[in-house]
């Protein structure tokens, strides 16, 4: 290809790492073919020493086949939500940026005999972003997300479960991915409940031992909404514990701003932030979505304050109902 064409292609691929690289390789090949060996060599060296970004595994096609037998309790999720979809405290943003940077320098860090933080425990009340964050984090890392269905794993403890657990960990040791143990409390509960159930206890303990020993190629993340109640034997296995708290007034305002960013409104949703204290993001999300839906159903262009208030009243009713359900007697 003519040099001018290649240059054009190179510029057009700006920002798309893999394409850029492919065109750059083509230019180098061209120079080699023209016998400009010194130039070709120097170009190659420059290309190789460029900033190394983690190569995004081509749309969730892992290099190592996932152990099929474990497929029954592991689900491959394609991360779709990005950091634009999540509200995080500035403290957590700092932690995650630190983890991302560390991950990108894994080789250098390990060469110096140091360990990269790769086992994370997400804690916090329901609906405050633990699962969402695991997805966004995987997306940011460019890694596939494997969600381990712990309850299913634990309830199928008989037979080959232990062997399958081993295979999952073996996989996560070799394949860069995010291995996500959602509802990790199931494990702590099973540990308490197992009583005389030796087989169950064996699986739970072996899971803890695996977590202890593994140095994942990507990340292992566990999420729980028990906090301090989790046994210290579980805590100490994680390199980092990250808290997802109920949103305060300022975070609620940010969240509402995000939810109504592209929505035509006839009122100011932020003005209602003070009424949403004590609600989780998931609940506020539901209120916002419900308000928007009312306008859609009525074929109105704008969401009105009464749409919002009706959705809020609905959420209150729902809460009241669920409080009744959990009250003793």
Ligand X SMILES: Nc1ncnc2c1ncn2[C@@H]1O[C@H](COP(=O)(O)OP(=O)(O)OP(=O)(O)O)[C@@H](O)[C@H]1O
Give the binding site for Mg ion (CB under 5 A): 130-131
> Using an 8 Å Cβ cutoff, are 23 and 10 in contact?
yes
Residue 119 or 130 having the CB closest to ligand X: 130
DSSP H stretches of helix in the chain: 3-12, 17-33, 37-48, 90-104, 106-111, 130-141, 150-155, 161-174, 185-193, 198-213, 232-235, 249-259, 281-297, 305-326
Which of 47, 266, 282, 309 contacts ligand X by CB under 6 A?
282
**Rounded-to-integer distance, Cα 188 and Cα 183, Å:** 10
CB of 4 to Mg ion, least distance (A): 53
The DSSP code for 268 is: -
Spell 67-76 as b/e; 16+ CB within 10 A means b. beebeebbee
Determine the Cα angle at 62 with ends 146 and 16, to 5°: 105
CB of 124 to ligand X, least distance (A): 6
Residues in binding contact with ligand X, number by CB under 6 A:
16
Which of 72, 170, 239, 285 contacts ligand X by CB under 6 A?
285
Residue 40 or 74 having the CB closest to ligand X: 74
Token pair for 204:
């739970």
Binding letters toward ligand X, positions 103-122, x by CB under 6 A: --------------------
Query: Which range in 125-133, 203-211, 290-298, 305-313 contacts ligand X by CB under 6 A?
Result: 125-133
CB of 136 to Mg ion, least distance (A): 13
Given ligand X, Mg ion, none, residue 139, with its beta carbon under 5 to 8 Å by kind, binds none
CB of 82 to ligand X, least distance (A): 11
Q: Which residue is nearest to Mg ion (CB)?
A: 131
> Using an 8 Å Cβ cutoff, are 209 and 235 in contact?
no
**Rounded-to-integer distance, Cα 179 and Cα 188, Å:** 18
Should residue 130 be labelled a site residue for ligand X when binding is judged by CB under 6 A?
yes
Should residue 131 be labelled a site residue for ligand X when binding is judged by CB under 6 A?
yes
For ligand X, the binding residues (CB under 6 A) are: 86-87, 124, 126-132, 223, 225, 244, 281-282, 285
């Amino acid at each position: 290809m003519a040099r001018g064409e290649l240059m054009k292609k190179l510029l057009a691929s700006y920002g798309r790492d893999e394409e850029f690289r492919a065109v750059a390789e083509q230019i180098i090949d061209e120079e080699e073919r023209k016998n400009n060996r010194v130039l070709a060599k120097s170009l190659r060296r420059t290309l190789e020493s460029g900033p190394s970004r983690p190569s995004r595994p081509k749309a969730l096609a892992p290099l190592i086949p996932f152990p099929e037998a474990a497929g029954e309790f592991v689900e491959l999720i394609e991360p779709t939500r990005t950091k634009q979809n999540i509200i995080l405290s500035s403290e957590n943003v700092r932690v995650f940026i630190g983890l991302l940077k560390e991950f990108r320098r894994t080789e250098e860090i390990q060469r110096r005999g140091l360990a990269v933080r790769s086992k994370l425990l997400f804690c916090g009340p329901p609906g405050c972003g633990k699962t969402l964050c695991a997805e966004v984090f995987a997306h940011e890392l460019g890694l596939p997300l494997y969600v381990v269905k712990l309850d299913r794993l634990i309830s199928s403890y008989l037979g080959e479960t232990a062997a399958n657990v081993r295979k999952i960990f073996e996989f996560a040791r070799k394949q860069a991915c995010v291995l996500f143990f959602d509802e990790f409390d199931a494990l702590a509960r099973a540990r308490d409940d197992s009583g005389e159930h030796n087989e169950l206890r064996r699986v739970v303990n072996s899971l803890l031992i695996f977590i202890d020993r593994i140095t994942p190629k990507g990340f292992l993340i566990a999420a729980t909404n028990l906090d301090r109640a989790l046994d210290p034997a579980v805590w100490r296995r994680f390199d980092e514990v990250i808290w997802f708290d109920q949103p305060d007034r300022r975070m609620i305002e940010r969240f509402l701003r995000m939810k109504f960013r592209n929505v035509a409104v006839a009122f100011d949703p932020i003005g209602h932030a003070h009424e949403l204290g004590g609600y989780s993001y998931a609940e506020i999300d539901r209120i916002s979505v419900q308000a928007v839906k009312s306008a859609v159903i009525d074929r109105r262009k704008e969401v009105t304050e009464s749409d919002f208030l009706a959705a809020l009243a609905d959420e209150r009713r729902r809460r009241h109902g669920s409080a009744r359900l959990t009250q003793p007697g």
